[in-house]
Amino acid sequence: MAEWLDDFLFTYENLVHALGVHGLLALSMYCVMAVGQLSLGQAAFMGIGAYTGALLTLNLGLPFWLVLPLSALAPALVALVIGGPTLRLSGVYLAISTIALGEVLRVLYINAEWLTGGALGLSGIPRKADLWLIYLLLLIGVVAFWAVGRSKIGRAMEAMREDEAVAGVMGVNLPRYKLGALIVSSMIAGLAGCLSSHSNSFIGPNEYGFEMAVTILSFALLGGIGTPVAPVIGAIILTALPEVLRPLQDFRLVFNGLIIVIAVLFLPRGVIPFRLRRAP
């Protein structure tokens, strides 16, 4: 490896990890928004993955190749319980119950001290999430969404986003698509959580709450959801910017919140407005 790259990685190791993990989170947000739904539980799903992964590694000493898929499975079960009823209702029900999920989990992590270490969180998690693994998973994710996006599934998803009722009349099984999207997205977020807990060596209950949920949404809204790459680029911008502009750090959350306001009001397609073609 070139020397300058070594130096760069040494200095910015945490940032490079965070960019990859946030890219995965942006992808998980994309997956739900691509079918016209809004989940604000991506941070909560990430937290479930992070805690599941950390506990399996610390308490049971399971190998990482087993920990990773289990960390994706745990949030999927929660997504099933919440998504089952809400996805048959109007979109606000999913949004509300997923924010509520984040809030209740935060309190439970703090209270279940015997398991989660309470407010202090869990520390001493071995660093098993190598950089190449994070970026490989991100690449696989983007390519997979790209491939599926250019098929009848991608067309059905875009149809749902534009006009759900008409998508149903076209023969799209709406509940199945919505639940499928939510479950896949919760699994990606769970993976991201597990990867982040195995690269930071520490996790705490406040990392997966409201602020993180809104930040993940800001990734997708800044980038736009025309292609699967767009939200990932949104994540990279919003993660790297505070590093570059140090004075921004205090106002990082204010900034992320305002990005959402501005994007919804003035930039509904995000900064990367291109649209994936879905036919030859």
DSSP state letter for 11: H
Q: Minimum distance between the CB of residue 84 and another protein, rounded to whole angstroms?
A: 7
Q: Minimum distance between the CB of residue 149 and another protein, rounded to whole angstroms?
A: 9
Question: Cα–Cα distances in Å, from 117 out to 71, 97, 108, 114?
Answer: 18, 26, 11, 6
Q: Minimum distance between the CB of residue 10 and another protein, rounded to whole angstroms?
A: 32
- Measured between alpha carbons, how far is 267 from 57 in angstroms, rounded to an integer? 43
Give the nearer residue to another protein in terms of CB position, either 57 or 256.
256
> CB pairs under 8 A, 24+ apart, for 202-205?
202/121, 202/122, 202/123, 202/124, 202/125, 203/50, 203/51, 203/54, 203/121, 203/122, 203/125, 204/119, 204/120, 204/121, 205/106, 205/109, 205/110, 205/116, 205/118, 205/119, 205/121
The sign of the torsion formed by the CA atoms of 243, 248, 250, 252 equals negative
Q: Minimum distance between the CB of residue 12 and another protein, rounded to whole angstroms?
A: 25
CB 118 within 8 A of CB 245: no
CB 92 within 8 A of CB 187: no
- Measured between alpha carbons, how far is 181 from 69 in angstroms, rounded to an integer? 18
Give the nearer residue to another protein in terms of CB position, either 59 or 249.
249
Give the nearer residue to another protein in terms of CB position, either 87 or 129.
87
Q: Minimum distance between the CB of residue 214 and another protein, rounded to whole angstroms?
A: 4
Q: Minimum distance between the CB of residue 172 and another protein, rounded to whole angstroms?
A: 6
Give the nearer residue to another protein in terms of CB position, either 13 or 162.
162
Secondary structure (3-state) at 149: helix
Q: What are the structure tokens assigned to 19, written together? A: 């960019």
Q: Minimum distance between the CB of residue 235 and another protein, rounded to whole angstroms?
A: 16
- Measured between alpha carbons, how far is 78 from 49 in angstroms, rounded to an integer? 11
